[in-house]
């Protein structure tokens, strides 16, 4: 009886802690060196989004300087083996940290990008081997890596920090990458210690 009561109390305390973390404003990293951030990133896990519904694997993003903006090219493998590609633009909205950007894929007249969404860098390895991108409402998140695979120790630490920042880590699904992850599964289960 005591063990059931203790388990119930611990569960309630954990739920209260998680809801308190979710109520706190989402924090970004203190600073992003955009020149180091440019280049190719592989998607390791994400909260599935409607605009990625055609993707079955090998999702990646490439960032390149485009004047004052950043050119964004997202791509993935579709069920029929072809690459789906979306091109957009990002602009820095917090010049002090450069950790808050706005990204859009809505292009008018062949040159004018409109209707951007928040792209906040909320976790970043000191050597830029991985990054975590989120949204202030915690509606989405992407774990990105410079390589198609990420060390389990990094993934465990990232998952813990996501939970501490109010994310439901079970809402993120691992991304299929050729030569590494072969199936989608909730991040909370992918890092579960046996």
| Helix pair 152-164, 2-23: axis angle to 10 deg | 80
Strand partners for 104: 89
Please tell me the predicted confidence (pLDDT) of residue 154.
97
The full DSSP string for 11-75 is HHHHHHHHHHHHHSPPPPPS---HHHH-EEEEEEEE---GGGTTEEEEEEEEEEEETTEEEEEEE
Domain covering 25-190, topology: Lipocalin (2.40.128)
Per-residue confidence (pLDDT) for residue 17, from 0 to 100 = 40
End-to-end CA distance of the chain: 27
pLDDT of residue 109: 52
Residues facing residue 72 across a β-bridge: 63, 88
Express each pLDDT in 160-182 by its tens digit.
999 999 999 999 999 999 988 78
The pTM for the full model equals 0.84
Q: What is the reported pLDDT for 179? A: 82
User: What pLDDT sits at residue 104?
Assistant: 87
What six digits make up the tokens of 30? 């203190």
- Report how far residue 81's alpha carbon sits from residue 1's, in angstroms, rounded to the nearest whole number: 55
Give residue for tokens 């979306």.
86
What are the φ/ψ torsions at residue 188 (nearest 5 degrees)? -60, -30
At 142, phi and psi to the nearest 5? -130, 135
Contact 178, 53 (CB under 8 A): no
Kindly give the parts of the chain with pLDDT less than 50.
1-21, 111, 194
Q: How far is CA 41 from CA 113, 129, 170, in A?
A: 22, 9, 22
């Amino acid at each position: 009886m005591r063990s059931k009561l203790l388990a119930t109390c611990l569960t309630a305390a954990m739920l209260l802690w998680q809801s308190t973390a979710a109520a706190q404003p989402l924090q970004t990293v203190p600073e992003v060196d955009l020149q180091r951030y440019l280049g190719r990133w592989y998607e390791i896990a994400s909260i599935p989004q409607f605009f990625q519904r055609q993707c079955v694997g090998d999702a990646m993003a490439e960032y390149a300087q485009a004047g004052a903006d950043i050119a964004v090219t997202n791509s993935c493998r579709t069920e029929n083996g072809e690459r789906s590609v979306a091109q957009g633009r990002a602009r820095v909205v917090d010049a002090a940290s450069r950790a808050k950007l706005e990204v859009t894929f809505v292009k008018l007249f062949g040159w004018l990008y409109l209707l951007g969404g928040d792209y906040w860098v909320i976790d970043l390895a000191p050597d830029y081997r991985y990054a975590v991108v989120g949204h202030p409402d915690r509606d989405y998140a992407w774990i990105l890596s410079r390589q198609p695979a990420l060390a389990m120790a990094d993934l465990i630490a990232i998952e813990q920090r996501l939970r501490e920042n109010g994310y439901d880590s079970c809402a993120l699904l691992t991304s299929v990458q050729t030569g590494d992850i072969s199936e989608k599964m909730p991040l909370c289960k992918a890092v579960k210690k046996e």
